[in-house]
Amino acid sequence: MTPEDRVRAMGFWSGPVTIEPLSGGITNLNYVVTDGGRRYVVRLGQDIPEHLVMRWNERALTAAAAEAGISPALRHAEPGIMVTDFVTSQALAEADLHEPETLSQVVALVARVHRELTPRVTGPVLTFWVFHVLRTYAAFLTERGSPHLAKLPRLMGEAAELEAAVGKVGLILGHNDLLPQNILRAEDGRFWLVDWEYGGFNSALFDLGGLASNSGLPEEAEAEMLRLYHGHTPDTGYMRRYGAMKCGSLLREAMWSMVSELTSEIDFDYAAYTAENLARYAAALDAWKEGA
């Protein structure tokens, strides 16, 4: 059965449906389905143990975020499938987050996740600690004989240094995958956050560092992001810890891609994505060390 046939066979639909692929995903297969004049997004994806992705966790956080008005409504879920409302919108690009007004509204959305979604979520939820993720990736890459094996001792040594620099943290419910394409701007100007597969309890430092690094924010915009989030300019100690977590976020994106080079069947140039993120990580790490 093809993915489209599986979508068509779902008992959720009221009648014949029209199915269109939704491009942009680099982990899952996504479709826009029209049923009785209404449009939905259908997301196909099984658990991905090597990435610590558990779909029960994603469903729980998608539902909570929808109830909070942060994500589109979850309409149906069954093993390997989630159906949410389709929102006429445009996924953001890096350059969009360099615009002061857009950045301000996105920071407000991220703050809502941390301050409103955290107390709303109940029941089992995963924890996402990037340095645990990195150790898991290193073990997987070693076991599978990754072409990046020679890099791992140095990268994991740097990760240990970064983890020590981050130190103790307070926990919030984080999205943990703040790529620009996971942030949607609807036709009415409202912003939505989608794709909760990596969501879980974490430090706010990770979402902030991920937002800055994944969007290539210039230094001035990054400083404004932190000021907007906290309501004041953070002190030097905070910036040191934040910088370490930002490096961790970039290393995770690079090692995520190293693993995906070996496992993913999605048509995407993971090798180029690995190289791009390793370069970003190296630049951020150099800047962090220079600021010591």
Final residue before a domain boundary, out of 58, 88, 118: 88
> Are residues 254 and 121 located together in one domain of the fold?
yes
Looking at residue 82, its pLDDT comes to 96
Residue 275 has pLDDT above 80, yes or no: yes
What's the CA gap between 134 and 262, in Å, rounded?
Answer: 16
> Once rounded to an integer, what is the mean pLDDT over residues 81-107?
96
> Are residues 99 and 147 located together in one domain of the fold?
yes
Looking at residue 109, its pLDDT comes to 98
> Are residues 250 and 161 located together in one domain of the fold?
yes
> Are residues 148 and 67 located together in one domain of the fold?
no
* Count of structural domains, the chain: 2
Residue 292 has pLDDT above 70, yes or no: no
Instruction: Look over the chain and give the mean of its residue pLDDT values, rounded to a whole number.
Output: 95
Final residue before a domain boundary, out of 88, 107, 122: 88
Final residue before a domain boundary, out of 88, 117, 150: 88
Residue 92 has pLDDT above 70, yes or no: yes
> Are residues 146 and 215 located together in one domain of the fold?
yes
3-state secondary structure of 226: helix
Looking at residue 28, its pLDDT comes to 78
List of residues 6+ apart from 11 with CB closer than 8 A: none
Looking at residue 289, its pLDDT comes to 94
Q: Which residues pair with 74 in a beta bridge?
A: 84
Confidence grade of residue 15 (pLDDT, cut at 50, 70, 90): confident
> Are residues 23 and 100 located together in one domain of the fold?
no
Residue 26 has pLDDT above 80, yes or no: no
> Are residues 99 and 120 located together in one domain of the fold?
yes
> Are residues 120 and 50 located together in one domain of the fold?
no
> Once rounded to an integer, what is the mean pLDDT over residues 117-138?
96
> Are residues 50 and 187 located together in one domain of the fold?
no
Structural domain range at position 149: 90-290
AA identity, residue 94: E
Looking at residue 286, its pLDDT comes to 96
Looking at residue 29, its pLDDT comes to 86
Percent residues over pLDDT 70 in the chain: 98
Percent residues over pLDDT 90 in the chain: 89
CATH of the domain at 73: 3.30.200.20
- Phi/psi for 263 (5° steps) reads -120, -30
